[in-house]
Amino acid sequence: MKKNSIMKVGMILSISCMLFITGCTSNTNKSNEGTPNTQIDTTEEKKTGEDTANTENKILSDVPDKDKKAEVLGEKEIVAPVANKEIPIYTFNDISLEIEPAIALVPEETELTPELVVDMVVDSFADRSVTVGIHEIAIEKDTVIVSFLSDQAPLVNVGSSLETTILDAIAQSIIENFPQYPKVIYRVEGKNYESGHYKFEINEVYLDGNTSK
């Protein structure tokens, strides 16, 4: 009977050891099962970080490329020089105050009109510090009528020589560029031209290209 008791105790110890070993193995497996999850999470975080860094680097690298492309496009957008045509006009010599020929440049597609030619003559005088006041310019049949302002040259602030030069320069510039308008009449603000040196009738022709002055 004593022998049977010893055997029972031995069996109980054996079963306890087996249960203990089984429990340890189960815990070990559970621990091992958690490990891969941690590694996967870490890998995914690393991959996400790398993707973010790559995206930022791409954005940063794209900016200079766009700027460079814009610079290249800007270099290609070079405007070609505008073709000009020469217009013969008359101005004056600022030493002798006598009339002299000159060339004015305008874009090739510009429509040439008596107003434009007169403006170019007036500008050439302004370059020599003489302000000519134009009231209006009209065309009647074959005649160009130029009306001056009463408070500016050639009516005031100029001597007889420069007044004559202004009148000659405008008239000859018109006639040379517009053979269809061979006559030029001068007025002052719509009335007959009268200064300290000249007096013309309201419709008196100052210069007729068909005849000599």
Q: What is the mean pLDDT of the chain?
A: 80
The whole-number average pLDDT for the span 162-183 is 98
Give the C-alpha separation, 166 to 186, whole Å.
11
Q: Which residue has the higher pLDDT, 98 or 21?
A: 98
Specify the DSSP element, H or E, that contains 32. Answer: helix 2-76
% of the chain with per-residue pLDDT over 90: 60
The whole-number average pLDDT for the span 190-205 is 97
Closest CA relative to residue 138, chosen from 185, 204, 178, 88:
185
At residue 210, the pLDDT reads: 87
- How does residue 211 score in pLDDT terms, banded at 50, 70 and 90? confident
Give the C-alpha separation, 92 to 154, whole Å.
13
Residue 208 pLDDT more than 90? yes
The whole-number average pLDDT for the span 119-127 is 98
Domain boundaries, the chain: 31-78, 84-208
Query: pLDDT of 36-84, one tens digit each?
Result: 444 445 455 555 555 555 555 555 455 555 555 545 455 556 776 889 9
The whole-number average pLDDT for the span 24-37 is 48
Residue 136 pLDDT more than 60? yes
Q: Put residue 190 in one of left, alpha, beta given phi > 0 → left and psi -120 to 50 → alpha.
A: left
Residue 25 pLDDT more than 90? no
| The residue type at 89 | I
Residue 35 pLDDT more than 50? no
At residue 10, the pLDDT reads: 56
% of the chain with per-residue pLDDT over 70: 62
List, as own/partner pairs, every contact residues 23-30 make where C-beta atoms lie below 8 angstroms and the sequence separation is at least 24, other chains included: none
| Owner of token pair 């008596």 | 114
Residue 188 pLDDT more than 90? yes
Q: Which residue has the higher pLDDT, 106 or 41?
A: 106
pTM of the full structure? 0.63
